[in-house]
Amino acid sequence: MCKHCGSHHCQQPHHHQNPTTSAVGTTQCAPDSGCCSSHAEGEGNAGDDDPDEHCHAHAQRQNADTPSERTSIDSVNAHEWGVTGMDCPSCAAKLEKAILATSGVAQAQVMFATEKLRVTYTADAQASTERAVEQAAQKAGFPLVALNQTQPEVTGWKKWRQDALLFGLIAVMMVAWGLHYWSEPLSGALFTLATLVGLAPIVGKAIRLVKSGSPFSIETLMSIAALGALYLGETTEAAMVLVLFLIGERLEGYAASRARDGIQSLMALVPETVTRVHASGERETVAASALQPGDVIEISAGERLPADGQLMGAMASFDQSALTGEPIPVDIEVGDAVMAGSLATDKTVQLTVTSAQGENAIDRILRLIEQAESKKAPIERFIDKFSRWYTPTMIALAALVVVVPPLFFAASWQEWLYRGLALLLIACPCALVISTPAAITSGLATAARRGALIKGGAALEMLASVNAVTFDKTGTLTEGKPIVTDVLTWQGDEKDLLKYATAIERGSHHPLAKSLVLYTAERGIEVPDAHNIQAQAGQGVKGDVDGCRISLIALDRLTDDMLTPNQRHQAGEIAQRGVTVAVVMVEGAPHGLIGWRDTLRGDAKQAVNQLRDLGIHPVMLTGDNPAAAAEIAGELGIDFRAGLLPEDKVHAVEALAKHYRVAMVGDGINDAPAMKAAQLGVAMGSGTDVALETADAALSHNRLTELPGILQLARATQANVRQNITIALGLKGVFLVTSVLGITGLWVAVLADSGATALVTLNALRLLRDKRQ
């Protein structure tokens, strides 16, 4: 079991490296592990408690934040398929209902965006259950295919059948309308024939849906209305109703495919085959799905990576715009990570595969989108519940409209049957049901394209209401990579001071040590070897260099008698600027000091200003000392709370939540308790692998300026939802009244229903055009 992430199947090599020790004497997790980022907070950091406790909290956080429903979904009794034939989110709901009615099925989830079905079987499921699921899907009109099987391409007559049916019906209707002036019986017969031919597949689908547990589908209502119109002799209107319905379906299918295009293009980024290089140098073309961590692959210029990898050989340039949105290719150093889907731009490169099958960057994004579909916003859940009783209620009302006037007021049965049929079509809840998921799906897809991964409609809805944002400091507002800012010598020269300090820190993976090594190398100083290096937890590090005993000790660990009053005053002035100070001792005598300071992210100030423009109150919460916190907060012009332990951050968030709706932005590990206490947790991309499990949203591109962008997008999505609901209910309300009063007829009823569905879907698609960067 990995002590860093709590997983029995940990695939992160850096989680298994040995801890290292830094200049300030603090035990540090393996480099770039995403754990314990507070070690870079600096000296005097009240949040710098035992790192193993941080990692233990990390493991607990992952376990605690795992949704309960994942236990069954991810169990060994689960199976997945690709789904064909889905045109809209309501199709997904119909398929789910059909699958849930199958014996042996405990849970079914249809992901419309990625066209997948995930089924969890009961403990007593039989071997035949899998076949029964496939048959149920087939009967419902949504055939299943294996995930590793390419979905059959629709060609020839099948591809054009529906369009041919629609245009054929329109042509027949035009001929029938022309014949009306010469022969009404022949005209009526053609209208009837057109209606029956066009209605046949709709009736067939309605029967399948009734059998699968969806009796109140639009197909059922459409069939009743069209057949009723034929019974009443309204042949022209019956045909017109059918044509308008088919046009509405085409528009709905087009709109849904547009909403899914972004997801499909993301899936297409991973090539199906790749060149694998054996240790002997032999090359072979293999399926991308056959790759394992440790495999060496070769990617030519113009090809994309099928898995996450680590660059070998010389520096190379990669176009990551499909994943990051950045149009300029990125130069990747040897040993650096490269995401799946990245495009090699300048030359053929070799990489070592680092991601297991189904665990690369694109897979993680797709999985998040799938999880997001199952986490509905409160308004979406309300609409779902509302539609369950709305349709039966409206059918009952339509029956009353048909029966009451003729029975109690001697009205015409034919007239009120006609009005009842119109009311039945108006009652279809399609537009209302689609209004919310269409907007939310578009909002989530747009956010993902911009690098913000949001876990579902509930998180998106909460984002729209946020009016205060709390930030962690290190790794969130700052780079989390301290640089050497001060070198002060009391004895000898600066070159010797750096040489001695770097010698005993070389080899350490602590951020302070690494920055010191880099600083010394940039100045061309030759560093001798050190021996007998001893790390003293909470004190510092010691070693022998050129026969001298060298110590590097944190300022706050020195006793009063180790520095002169003047030396302590100088060191204190530097520390007050928020600089982490370590004193270099040679044979027990202070020779000078070295200071480090974390630097602001390049976009931190811009992001904070944008949040203020949105009326959002920014606050920084940090475990660092007040001086360091004040320096960073002063540069940004925001409020701050310093010297906070993890539980103190929770209390700070809870206090702020009494007056605001709070989002907490952090690295997803040490800040996990505070992120959980806030209404919404947002993780930075530097901890994306953990953030996908712990936070409600993640800024995968590690850009703070995306935060105000997704807040704006969330608000736009909520406004879009309200518009859609208004359109759906408004049109229905108007035409319900006009239909009962006899002002409008069947064709207007269908136009109102199909028109409302098309309008709300097209309105939701406006969110996909969001171009804010």
Q: How confident is the model at residue 411 (pLDDT cuts 50, 70, 90)?
A: confident
Query: Does pLDDT of 748 surpass 60?
Result: yes
pLDDT at residue 277 in the model: 93
Residue of 561, 180, 244 whose CA lies nearest to 422: 244
Supply angle C-alpha 31, 36, 39, rounded to 5: 85
What's the average model confidence in pLDDT over 127-152?
A: 79
Q: How confident is the model at residue 167 (pLDDT cuts 50, 70, 90)?
A: confident
pLDDT in tens, 35-48: 333 333 333 333 33
Q: How confident is the model at residue 690 (pLDDT cuts 50, 70, 90)?
A: very low
pLDDT at residue 82 in the model: 85
3-state helix, strand, coil in the chain (%, to 5): 50, 15, 30
pTM across the whole model = 0.56
Catalytic residues: 472
Query: Does pLDDT of 608 surpass 90?
Result: yes
pLDDT at residue 621 in the model: 92
Q: Mean pLDDT, the chain, as a whole number?
A: 76
Contacts of 9 (CB under 8 A, 6+ apart): none
pLDDT at residue 278 in the model: 92
Pairing relationship of beta strands 680-684 and 697-699 according to DSSP bridges: parallel
The upper half-sphere exposure of residue 114, i.e. CA atoms within 13 Å in the direction of its Cβ, equals 25
Residue 221 burial (10 A CB sphere; 0-12, 13-18, 19+): buried
C-alpha to C-alpha distances, 311 to 296, 305, 331, 688, nearest whole angstrom:
10, 11, 11, 20
What's the average model confidence in pLDDT over 218-226?
A: 75
pLDDT at residue 375 in the model: 53
**Whether 659 contacts 627, CB under 8 Å:** no
pLDDT at residue 264 in the model: 63
Answer with the residue of higher pLDDT: 743 or 508.
743
What's the average model confidence in pLDDT over 326-336?
A: 72
pLDDT in tens, 366-386: 765 566 455 555 655 666 566
pLDDT at residue 636 in the model: 93
pLDDT at residue 79 in the model: 84
Quote the tokens at residue 585. 């001792």
CA dist., res. 198 & res. 241, Å (int) = 11
Answer with the residue of higher pLDDT: 471 or 514.
471
**Whether 635 contacts 665, CB under 8 Å:** no
pLDDT in tens, 414-438: 889 888 888 877 776 666 666 777 7
DSSP run (H or E) holding 630: helix 626-636
CA dist., res. 97 & res. 102, Å (int) = 9
DSSP labels, 440-508: HHHHHHHHHHTTEEE-HHHHHHHHHH--EEEE-IIIIIB-S--EEEEEEESSS-HHHHHHHHHHHHTT-
Query: Does pLDDT of 170 surpass 60?
Result: yes
pLDDT at residue 371 in the model: 60
Crossing angle (nearest 10°) for helices 361-374 and 456-465: 80
pLDDT in tens, 70-126: 333 334 477 888 888 776 666 777 788 888 888 889 888 887 767 788 898 888 887
pLDDT at residue 352 in the model: 94
Query: Does pLDDT of 132 surpass 60?
Result: yes
pLDDT at residue 260 in the model: 58
- Most confident by average pLDDT, 175-184, 245-254, 368-377, 546-555: 546-555
Pairing relationship of beta strands 548-554 and 540-545 according to DSSP bridges: antiparallel
CA dist., res. 653 & res. 658, Å (int) = 9
Q: How confident is the model at residue 757 (pLDDT cuts 50, 70, 90)?
A: confident
pLDDT at residue 25 in the model: 32
Q: How confident is the model at residue 466 (pLDDT cuts 50, 70, 90)?
A: very high
pLDDT in tens, 554-579: 887 888 888 999 999 999 888 888 78
- Most confident by average pLDDT, 264-278, 626-640, 673-687, 734-748: 626-640
pLDDT at residue 382 in the model: 64
Answer with the residue of higher pLDDT: 670 or 750.
750
- Percentage of the chain modeled with pLDDT above 70: 76
Answer with the residue of higher pLDDT: 500 or 113.
500
pLDDT in tens, 4-35: 333 333 433 333 333 333 333 333 333 333 33
DSSP run (H or E) holding 299: strand 296-299
CA dist., res. 375 & res. 455, Å (int) = 7
pLDDT at residue 431 in the model: 65
Query: Does pLDDT of 335 surpass 80?
Result: yes
pLDDT at residue 295 in the model: 94
